[in-house]
Structure 1
Amino acid sequence: MKVFKQMNEQELALALEQPGEPLVVFLHTPLCGTCKAARRMLEVAAHLLPPGLVIAEANVNMLPGIVSRYRISSVPALMTAGADRTGGPEILYSMGSVEQMLDYIRRVSS
């Protein structure tokens, strides 16, 4: 099973600003049942992604600045940013299937 990297607000803000590797961040809250189901789908999807791709996760309750800056409106959410970081991150709120998640993540990771 792929381990997701925990990120705090400062780490995430820095990662979103600096160009580098493609970034995938799963945003959730601890008591959200839909988040738990989406995380399980992401765990399955992670096995089909390149081994070097880092998938991070963060609790939005601990990210007030990020939530405000990127107008995160609900959880679960999947935030992705390409290697060049131009145009800012994209956010996916509707995670209906593993295939949908894979398609979304592959757009930034390829």
Structure 2
Amino acid sequence: MIRELEQAELLELLGTHGQPLVVFLYTPLCGTCKAARRMLEVARHLLPPELNIAGGNVNRLPELVKTYRISSVPALLAVPADRAARPEILYSFGSVERVLDYIRRVTS
């Protein structure tokens, strides 16, 4: 399950060191976002249970969108535990395998 968070919670988690974080960004009426969410939910079952996966509606996250320069949705923002480097963003989900590879590469 992807936890839905508000802007303040997401920005706090993105600024907190210690645990990798994956954030799914979407808009409610986006059909591609619905397909991407399903892929991420399948991938979730193949990832470690302690990996924090959150979601947020970009219409309600203007500061996050500006800070991380989100250019389209769906988007998957993955940040490693140390938060030193700028997070990578996946815009083209393609397949569950691609989503898994991306998350594993960034968060390991």
Scaled to the shorter chain, the TM-score interval is over 0.9
Over residues 39-79 of structure 1, what are the superposed CA-to-partner deviations in whole Å (9 max), with x where a residue is unaligned? Answer: 00111111110111121000000000111111100000000
Amino acid at match of 2:81: A
Aligned to 1:8: 6
Report the CA distance between 1:89 and its aligned residue.
1.4
Equivalent residue, structure 1, for 2:21: 23
Q: 2:31 aligns with which of 27, 30, 33?
A: 33
For structure 1, list consecutive stretches of 5 or more residues without a partner in the other structure: none
CA shift, 1:7, in A, is 1.1
Using the TM superposition, name which of 12-21 and 92-101 deviates more.
12-21
1:88 shift after superposition: 2.1
1:69 counterpart (64, 67, 71): 67
CA RMSD of aligned residues (A): 0.8
* CA displacement at 1:90 relative to structure 2: 1.1
Q: 2:83 aligns with which of 82, 85, 90?
A: 85
| Runs of 4+ residues deviating >3 angstroms | none
Cα distance in 2 between the residues matched to 1:51 and 1:34:
26
Counterpart position of 2:107: 109
- 1:43 maps to what in 2? 41
Alpha-carbon distance between aligned partners in 2 of 1:99 and 1:44, rounded to the nearest angstrom? 10
- TM-score normalised per structure 2: 0.96
Name the counterpart of 2:52.
54
Q: Distance in 2 between matches of 1:51 and 1:69?
A: 28
Aligned residues: 108
- Structure 2 unaligned segments of length 5 or more: list them: none
